[in-house]
Structures are given as structure tokens and as C-alpha cells.
Amino acid sequence: MGNPRHTARFDLTGKSALVVGAAGTFGRAGALALGEAGARLTVADQDTANINAVAGDLSDAGIAASAVALWPDCEANAAKIVQAAVDAHGRLDIVFIALGTNDVAFVEDQSEDGWRKVMDANLDSYWRTCQAAGRQFARQPAADDRYKITVASSTRGRLGHPSGYAAYCASKSGLDGMVRALSGEWGPKNININAIGPTVFRSPVSEWMFDEEGPGKAVRDNMLQRIPIGRLGDVDDLMGGLVYLSSPASDFMTGQTIYIDGGYTAI
């Protein structure tokens, strides 16, 4: 028989959770996982139709959810996204940021615009959202539980890549560094911040690697030599970690990047 005192620490009932980038594979799954754990959701992304569809799917699953069609591409929009969560559910307790893009190019060929596009999506937008959330937490009455922010990093924040990933690797390394720095700033302020670092998981972007007959097979087989568990990931593999980092069970963990990667970074 389980210990209810411990299992109860994973319960998010009544918490107000904001998911930024919720129309993407990781963000959509994360919103559902947080909602299934009891949180009330605000989901944000830039495309109105897509983000309304996400909110509709959550509502159909019995999860309280509202949508905001904005992207944190400036401080004002980041603040509006956070305010939308407060307006919908009265306060903010949990933030999950799942933004990202890549511009694959060898450094001698990459344009500055390509570099900046990756940095803005993978680092600057996270900084803006964290800033807005931190300001909101400071305005709220003191909470019994600690506030939780989780960001979507990557194994590429720790490892390089030989095929034109300089911007992507740099952006994710910067994100991991920001997480460590903010854990120091925010520890005394009742805020925990951590990152999840996955390797390849199934999504529309990576689907070609899962094809048994196509050109992705050779790439996949080569990668599997570095994954002790012996398979590529699925987005559901990441959800236990997200719920943990968003819940009171992780109150003594901050400033960490958790690699949910089948052992890819271990060998």
C-alpha cells in the first residue's frame, strides 16, 4: 500500500498553471498532464485557432482551461500572457515554458537573422516569461507552497552537435545557465526553477526518424547506439518529470536540468 502522505505531494488540485508554447507537442502534452494532476490551465501560443483547439481539448477532458493567443516576443506580451492566467484563475502558481525552434546551418553559412531567430525563441522568450512570472509571484500574497517554473531545455544544452547546431546548442546552454542563476536569485523568494532536457522524442518535427523504411532509419540506428534504454523517446516519457517539478514533491530541487533521455547523456 502506498504512503498517501507522499503521493499527495504530487497533487496539483486547485493550482493555477500557465503553459507557454502549448500548441506544440511538448507544451500540449504538458498542459494535459498538469490538468490531469488537478491544475487549472491557461494555455498560450501565437496561433489563435491552434491554441483555442488546445483549450477546447482540455475542456472536453474535464480540465478547466482558458486560452491566450500571444507569444512572449516582447516584455509587454509576456506580461499580458501572465496576466491572462491571473485573470482566468485568480493567481499563478506553476509555469511551464515549451518554446523552441532551430535554424540548421554551419556557422560560416548561417545568417545573423537565423542566429537571432533561434536565440529569441529558445532563450530570450524564456527570459521574458520568467521575468513576468517572477514579478507576478512577488505581487501575490504569500503562498503555503513554493511556486514552480519548468523550462524545456535539451541534451544539446550539454552536448555539441557536428551538423550545424551551433545556435541551437548555444541557446539551450544559455537556458540551462539562466536556470541555475535564477535558482540563486529566487530560492529565498519561494520560487523553484528547473529544466527538462530530452533527447529526440516523437513529434511532427522528428517523425521522419521513426520511419522504418525511410532515410531516418540510418540516423536513428546511429543514435540508438548512444541510448542505453534502446529506443527513442515519446513525449509521454517526459510528463512524470514535469508533474514532479511542478508539484510540492520537488520543493527541495531547484536550478537543475533533468535529462530524460534514456541514458543518452550518461555514456
Q: Which amino acid is at 43?
A: V
Q: Which of 126, 147, 168, 259 is catalytic?
A: 168
Q: Which amino acid is at 80?
A: K
DSSP annotation of 262 reads: T
End-to-end CA distance of the chain: 36
Active site residue 259: no
Instruction: Return the SS3 of 126.
Output: helix
Alpha helix stretches (DSSP H) within the chain:
4-7, 25-36, 48-60, 75-89, 112-119, 125-139, 166-186, 216-224, 239-246
DSSP annotation of 218 reads: H
**Angle formed at CA 81 by CA 80 and CA 84, multiple of 5 degrees:** 85
| Alpha carbon separation from 124 to 12, 95, 119 (Å, rounded) | 28, 16, 6
- Please identify every residue annotated as catalytic: 168
